[in-house]
Structure 1
Amino acid sequence: MWLYEVPVAVALPLFVALFVGISLLIVLVLRRWIPRDGDGGPEWDRVLGYAMASYGVLYGVTLALIAAASYEDYRGVEEIVLQETSAISVLYRDASGFPEPIGSELQSVLIEYTDDVINVDWVRQAGGVIPSHTSPQLTEIEQLLFDFQPANESESNLHAATISAFNQFLADRGARIGATAQEIPPILWVVLYVGAFINAVLIGLVEVRRLRSHLLMAGLVAAFVGLVIFAIASFDHVYAGEVAIDTTLFEELKNSLLGTP
């Protein structure tokens, strides 16, 4: 979608301008059907006022709930990414307690895995492609852990704790990968866009004597609706676009804890 391929500074004005333009066009088209004074005006105002009040609440609540849900999903994926980097950090520190050469081998594989997430997984996720749930690094870590034979109780405890951390790490990785396909169902997009159209039509049917005032009112409402829907679209694909969740946490992990530039 073009929305995720251009900067927000360009996409946002274009998106909002499209909403405003359509709304103003609707006003211009519908003004000739608006009843004038002495031509059923009071009754028209009552009916339209009731319809706009009822619809305004219904669409406003729907828009707010979808916006809140999309942002909550976005924050949830941020938390998932944080959990995965934390799991890598725990594994890296646990690996330092293993005897050589297994300790260094585990740490080296974790560094390779972090590089792979940054340079391979994230590129695929940004393109909407779900990365593989398995990787050579995961297989190697699993092999190293399961082949290790503790020599004493201390190593046995460390080994059990590391395997538990590794299982949690696998779960976090799976959740991060699964979020690639996370998106709002198409039926809700239909609700949002059809709802915005109906909202513009109702505003276009309001009796306003001055065309300039009518256009200003319709434009302001359309601009706000466009802003909210743009925000929903930006949060919808968490790894795509300028608002996407990026590799910052993995890069910080690599540069600090793992000690590699």
Structure 2
Amino acid sequence: MVRELINTLSFWQLALLYILILTVLTYLAAFISTRLITFPIDKDHRALSNSLISILSAGFSVLLAFIIINTWNYLLKTQDEVAKEADALAAMMRDIHVFPAPVKTKIMNGIYNYTIIARTQEWAMLTQGKESSAAWAALHHLITILQSFEPRTTLERIYYTQAVRNLETVLETRRNRLARLHSIIPDKLNSALIIGSIFLVVILGLIRGETNFLHITPLLFFSIVLGFNLAIALSFDYPYSGDIAVSNHFFYQGMLGTFKDPVTPS
């Protein structure tokens, strides 16, 4: 559900949605509490409510900050894996220049096919949490081509070894980036994070027990910050989805930039 939401809405739309929901719930809770409380609200009540609000909001904020840091690192590691995969493919293109022309052409075509599928068809599927079987087939074909070549000269053996190492890097980094297709936050914790945010602002609104703008302003600001941070945490959690996503631009840089995407007929 969260993936579909961040794919449908831009980051700012998502943030505004969360902020709107939480601030409205905060105000409604405070409004209901105001109607239920019949005794006068004095300084002692405000001091006690402020203490409770500080404790509850601080505890949840620490948890949310911890989640944001981890999901941000999750996104950065995914980006690093994509960059390493693209670098290894580009390095293979350099390695095969010493091979005989027919072999070089076959391997180059294999690299081309895999690169094009990975950065176009598969990248579109990644946003939906899926991988491409065509990309795996293209990579397997590239492996088969490289295995069928038997280097003869010393120079060919040196660069063949390098090409094999780079191909192994492509395999490893591909597995690593596909392993990050899904959320790092468990589904139950994901749901608890959203429900907990709603529950927290409702409780804080009820504790405050005042709808006077001056007295409820701190709570409204907290709801705004909470909604914004919640949008950040959930957006970082899906590295290939939404506005804040790992880009495929690494597959268009350097030597891989010489490959042109096929033009689809309109």
User: Does the pair score TM above 0.5?
Assistant: yes
Give the Cα–Cα distance (whole angstroms) in 2 for the partners of residues 22 and 182 of structure 1.
27
Give the Cα–Cα distance (whole angstroms) in 1 for the partners of residues 148 and 8 of structure 2.
46
Identify the residue that residue 6 of structure 2 maps to in structure 1: 3
AA aligned opposite 2:119: I
Contact 2:117 2:135 in 1 (8 A): no
Distance 1:139 1:194, change over 3 A: closer
Identify the residue that residue 264 of structure 2 maps to in structure 1: none
Give the Cα–Cα distance (whole angstroms) in 2 for the partners of residues 83 and 98 of structure 1.
24
Please give the residue correspondences for 1:17-166 in structure 2 after superposition, counting only pairs within 5 Å: 17-34=20-37, 36-37=39-40, 42=44, 44-45=45-46, 47-132=48-133, 135-166=136-167
Distance 1:196 1:206, change over 3 A: same
Give the Cα–Cα distance (whole angstroms) in 2 for the partners of residues 175 and 158 of structure 1.
25
Give the Cα–Cα distance (whole angstroms) in 2 for the partners of residues 142 and 88 of structure 1.
12
Please give the residue correspondences for 1:222-261 in structure 2 after superposition, counting only pairs within 5 Å: 222-253=223-254, 256=257, 258=258, 260=260
Give the Cα–Cα distance (whole angstroms) in 2 for the partners of residues 13 and 148 of structure 1.
57
Distance 1:230 1:108, change over 3 A: same
CA RMSD of aligned residues (A): 2.5
Give the Cα–Cα distance (whole angstroms) in 1 for the partners of residues 94 and 173 of structure 2.
18
Q: TM-score, structure 1 length as denominator?
A: 0.87
Percent of pairs with identical residues:
17
SS at match of 2:180: helix
Gaps of 5+ in 1: none
Give the Cα–Cα distance (whole angstroms) in 2 for the partners of residues 123 and 134 of structure 1.
12
Residue 205 of structure 1: which of 204, 207, 211 is its match?
Answer: 207
Give the Cα–Cα distance (whole angstroms) in 1 for the partners of residues 185 and 48 of structure 2.
34
Contact 1:133 1:174 in 2 (8 A): no
What is the deviation of 1:242? 1.8
Give the Cα–Cα distance (whole angstroms) in 1 for the partners of residues 135 and 148 of structure 2.
19
What is the deviation of 1:36? 4.5
Distance 1:199 1:192, change over 3 A: same
Distance 1:253 1:26, change over 3 A: farther
1:141-188 per-position Cα deviation (integer Å, ceiling 9, x unaligned): 212221211212221122122111111111111112221123411222
Give the Cα–Cα distance (whole angstroms) in 2 for the partners of residues 14 and 60 of structure 1.
19
Contact 2:95 2:159 in 1 (8 A): yes
Contact 1:133 1:177 in 2 (8 A): no
What is the deviation of 1:133? 8.7
What is the deviation of 1:232? 0.9
Contact 2:126 2:241 in 1 (8 A): yes
What is the deviation of 1:48? 3.7
1:203-247 per-position Cα deviation (integer Å, ceiling 9, x unaligned): 441365x61123422221101000000011111111111222222
Q: TM-score, structure 2 length as denominator?
A: 0.85
Contact 1:27 1:218 in 2 (8 A): no
Give the Cα–Cα distance (whole angstroms) in 2 for the partners of residues 16 and 198 of structure 1.
14
- Counting matched residue pairs gives 257
What is the deviation of 1:132? 3.3
Gaps of 5+ in 2: 262-266
Contact 2:131 2:178 in 1 (8 A): yes
